[in-house]
Amino acid sequence: MNNHYCVVIPSFGHWSALPMIVDALIERGLPIIIVDDGNSGEGRRAIDELADVRRQIEVIHLAKNEGKGVAVRIGLERAFARGFSHALQIDADGQHDLGAIDALMTASDQNPQALVSGRPVYDESIPRGRQIGRWVTHIWVFIETLSLRIIDSMCGFRVYPLASALDVFSKEDIGRRMYFDTYIMVRMFWRGVPPIFVPVKV
């Protein structure tokens, strides 16, 4: 690969799946930045125990819960400062399909200017309320972008081209909470960053 990749994992209230996630990433030779978004007690200790210079695992502790948007932004900024060109964002709760990491990375390596994102493939078991909520968001995104190219803006399993993401951070308030994933994708699209989607299991 010509690009330089790492992984950013924001974590608040979830840490039990982190060792499994970390092992899968280490197997692929990916340096890891875990952003502890204000966990306390057992959660903070569990995350702290993962810090390992030898295995290239860095932990950043935030003094209080700032929200996913802030945690991801801090992780991406740290990745860029360390000289990485791209960062894979993955959630700490274990919901993301680790088997799709290679496909996301390959798509990013082949399209280094793109924001490569997972596209969740749901079956009939998806709760009706969640399905409706997702469609409302999709429609809003279609209207905001006047395009159907962003087919799923809500998945937090993606590879960021860091220079493009940080350019957005420097000019706009992207939001602190869970809607960050949608906001950053739409604003990067407005700036000409193409979205590419890879199907992932849910």
Give the pLDDT confidence score for residue 176 in this predicted structure. 73
Cα 54 off chain centre by: 24
Nearest CA-CA partner of 34 in 60, 70, 6? 60
- pLDDT tens string, the chain, 202 residues long: the values are 467 999 999 999 878 889 999 999 999 999 999 999 999 889 999 999 999 988 999 999 999 999 999 999 999 999 999 999 999 999 998 888 899 999 999 999 999 999 999 988 755 655 555 555 555 565 665 656 655 677 777 788 999 999 999 999 999 887 776 688 999 999 999 999 999 999 998 7
- Total Cβ atoms within 10 A of residue 19: 12
Answer positive or negative: Cα dihedral of 152, 118, 47, 71: negative
Cα–Cα distance for residue pair 90/104, rounded to 1 Å: 11
Nearest CA-CA partner of 90 in 181, 197, 184? 181
Of all helices (H) and strands (E), which one includes residue 43? helix 41-48
Cα–Cα distance for residue pair 177/104, rounded to 1 Å: 24
pTM above 0.85, yes or no: yes
E strands, the chain, are 5-11, 32-36, 57-61, 86-89, 115-121, 158-161, 195-201
